[in-house]
Structure 1
């Protein structure tokens, strides 16, 4: 049977990330992003065989943008496109694994939109556009939350009255599940351990950041909760704050709920602490030049991250390794070093040379000799979505 191709779509409110994934080849045959959709500045950028190209698409919506890249995708796939895998952020308790998209599953995703009002409606835009353009292709939804449906009740329940959970689904769901599954499987392969008989701490660090405890191939705890705001410090998200902050700001400053949500989601985290940027590369450069805000942001980020990883260790029967992944986790030797320095009680320590050289897509161990395993494992959520899609089609 010839090797197969899957188109992976990750749709935002004004953007579409896409990648053509070949089941036997690691590099993407084609990948790109359509951005600023709906505006006069809408455009699509793509990369194929090392060549980068761009095209202006004034006022294009999601369907128009997908229609524009369709011939490119079909040509790159050699007219052998087997299906489409969609990233969907929130599956609630309804979805514990990837699912084929039909009227019933789309209705269930739409019903879950109240739990992810910024994400699921945007994901549905991409699903609707792709189904209209590719009506004969099987299409699959892969959920960020599904991997965490193995959390025990004592890990996912909030200490709130029962009806809020039973009637309104207020509980901890967790996110970044596709990335966690990919990197923990890859770590097991790299170390010769069985994925279903190993225990990992994982830090997924990008503009959104979270931690996870993975035991025998299952998520046992994670730092994000009902929404992606809970947990560690992120690019523009605050992570954990006093739950009474909302009423404090409303009472003392007269702020509205919308103002407070904007503050916590878009104006806080590294950006809020530094007063400079949400980009860790910018902050590391500024720190070297003595910028006080950048220095503070990095210190808080690493300490809060280490606290979260230490808390996640409560869910592990043993520690087979700590994994760093995501844009920051894969590329910032400074963040890895400063975070691990706070975890002396776990006996973690890094080899400075290995840590410094494991960047820009490199993978491998970075722990000091005689200390527990620490790995850098580049994530590939698009490939995991494609593999999940193929597995469902095979089933």
Structure 2
């Protein structure tokens, strides 16, 4: 079976095309600036080089059509006919309380995703455009939705509810949902394979640390808590997101800056985090470089960033009643050695001892970075969200006999 995985944003489409017989990647790339001037697709070639093609892309339909065109191209493509695409899997950020597992797309599923747009207006609207674009271009090809928050649906009510009037949950579904679920799911399973652990008898803390970042507490293969909330804004300090903040501070800032709710949401999501503290960048590589050059606000941002991760590790060790493994993944987690070292420092009382020298050498590779005598294994596991989506798509389509 050959599966195309699509991750459609408001103005972008990332894609990977798999041969699921051996899970090899046949093609991959991304479309950018849909609906804007200077739109393009960037295709990763088999030799590792990238080719960029400019195009007029007013809507997602043209964007998906361009992906298909590149897949069919005799030089850079991977197929001779669209009939070779057996199924399409989509990443969907917000499934709310409605979708707790992956599902084959039909009209009711499309309507359900649209109903949830209030909870993730930018993300879900983009995903829906991608689904409908495939509908129009390949109407008989089965599609599957894999929901970002589904892996977190095992959280108990005392962990996911906010202490606000209960009717807000009943009427408007106000609760903690959590995100990066496909990543947390992949790395928690993979670390058990690496360490020879039984996932059904394990206590794991997964740290998905990128421009967006979240931590999850996973007990016996099921999430019992996670740092993100109703939206991806909550929890850790991130590239341009503030993370946890006193709600009264939000209303105070709105009053002082005369901001409307959506303006405030943009401020906290796009102008805060390490970008807001440093005024330099939302990219942690830039912040590390500036700190090395003596920039005090860059160093402050690093201290804040690493401290919050450490706090969540400690909190989730308490929630789990101990921990077998701590997993680092995503762009920062896989590559930024200083963050891993600082967030794990002085946690020996929890049985966590990081091998500083080994940690300093690991950039994007699977590796155990704790010392041999560390009771808790600290592990770097590069994430692969797309293969999770592809596997779920294959499994559901085969079960349905489509």
Pick one of 388, 392, 395 that aligns with 1:388: 392
Off by >6 Å, runs of 4+ in structure 1: none
> 1:175 & 1:323 partners in 2: Cα distance?
16
Residue number in structure 2 paired with 1:58: 56
> 1:136 & 1:317 partners in 2: Cα distance?
49
> 1:76 & 1:126 partners in 2: Cα distance?
21
Matched, 1:101 2:101: no
> 1:118 & 1:134 partners in 2: Cα distance?
25
Deviates more, 1:137-146 or 1:340-349: 340-349
- Cα deviation, residue 78, structure 1: 5.7
Residue number in structure 2 paired with 1:6: 3
Pick one of 19, 23, 36 that aligns with 1:22: 19
Residue number in structure 2 paired with 1:356: 360
* Residues 9 and 244 of structure 1, relative CA distance in 2, 3 Å threshold: same
- Cα deviation, residue 394, structure 1: 2.2
- Cα deviation, residue 8, structure 1: 0.5
> 1:308 & 1:345 partners in 2: Cα distance?
16
Secondary structure of the structure 2 residue equivalent to 1:94: coil
Structure 2 unaligned runs (5+)? Answer: none
> 2:373 & 2:278 partners in 1: Cα distance?
37
The Cα RMSD (Å) is 1.4
> 1:103 & 1:388 partners in 2: Cα distance?
20
- Map Cα deviations across residues 364-390 of structure 1 (whole Å, 9 max, x no partner): 100022112000000000111101111
Matched, 1:330 2:331: no
- Map Cα deviations across residues 285-323 of structure 1 (whole Å, 9 max, x no partner): 111111111111111000011111211223314311000
> 2:255 & 2:346 partners in 1: Cα distance?
37
Contact 1:182 1:384 in 2 (8 A): yes
> 2:57 & 2:71 partners in 1: Cα distance?
22
Deviates more, 1:20-29 or 1:379-388: 20-29
> 2:299 & 2:58 partners in 1: Cα distance?
41
Contact 1:95 1:143 in 2 (8 A): yes
- Cα deviation, residue 26, structure 1: 5.3
Contact 2:207 2:215 in 1 (8 A): yes
Secondary structure of the structure 2 residue equivalent to 1:178: helix
Pick one of 166, 171, 177 that aligns with 2:175: 171
> 2:319 & 2:25 partners in 1: Cα distance?
36
Contact 2:57 2:63 in 1 (8 A): no
Secondary structure of the structure 2 residue equivalent to 1:28: strand
- Map Cα deviations across residues 107-141 of structure 1 (whole Å, 9 max, x no partner): 11111111111211111111111111111111000
- Map Cα deviations across residues 34-75 of structure 1 (whole Å, 9 max, x no partner): 001112210000113123211101344211121122133255
> 1:42 & 1:390 partners in 2: Cα distance?
31
Contact 2:177 2:228 in 1 (8 A): yes
Alignment of structure 1 residues 1-395 onto 2, 5 Å: 4-25=1-22, 28-50=25-47, 51-74=49-72, 75-77=77-79, 79=81, 80-359=84-363, 361-371=364-374, 372-395=376-399
Under a length normalisation based on structure 1, what TM-score does the superposition of the two structures give?
0.96
Secondary structure of the structure 2 residue equivalent to 1:301: helix
Deviates more, 1:290-299 or 1:76-85: 76-85
Secondary structure of the structure 2 residue equivalent to 1:265: helix
> 1:297 & 1:202 partners in 2: Cα distance?
22
- Cα deviation, residue 193, structure 1: 1.2
Secondary structure of the structure 1 residue equivalent to 2:360: helix
> 1:291 & 1:251 partners in 2: Cα distance?
31
Contact 1:232 1:239 in 2 (8 A): yes
Under a length normalisation based on structure 2, what TM-score does the superposition of the two structures give?
0.94
Deviates more, 1:373-382 or 1:190-199: 190-199
> 1:77 & 1:202 partners in 2: Cα distance?
37
> 1:342 & 1:107 partners in 2: Cα distance?
50
Structure 1 unaligned runs (5+)? Answer: none
- Map Cα deviations across residues 320-372 of structure 1 (whole Å, 9 max, x no partner): 1000000000001111001101534323121122201221x310100022112
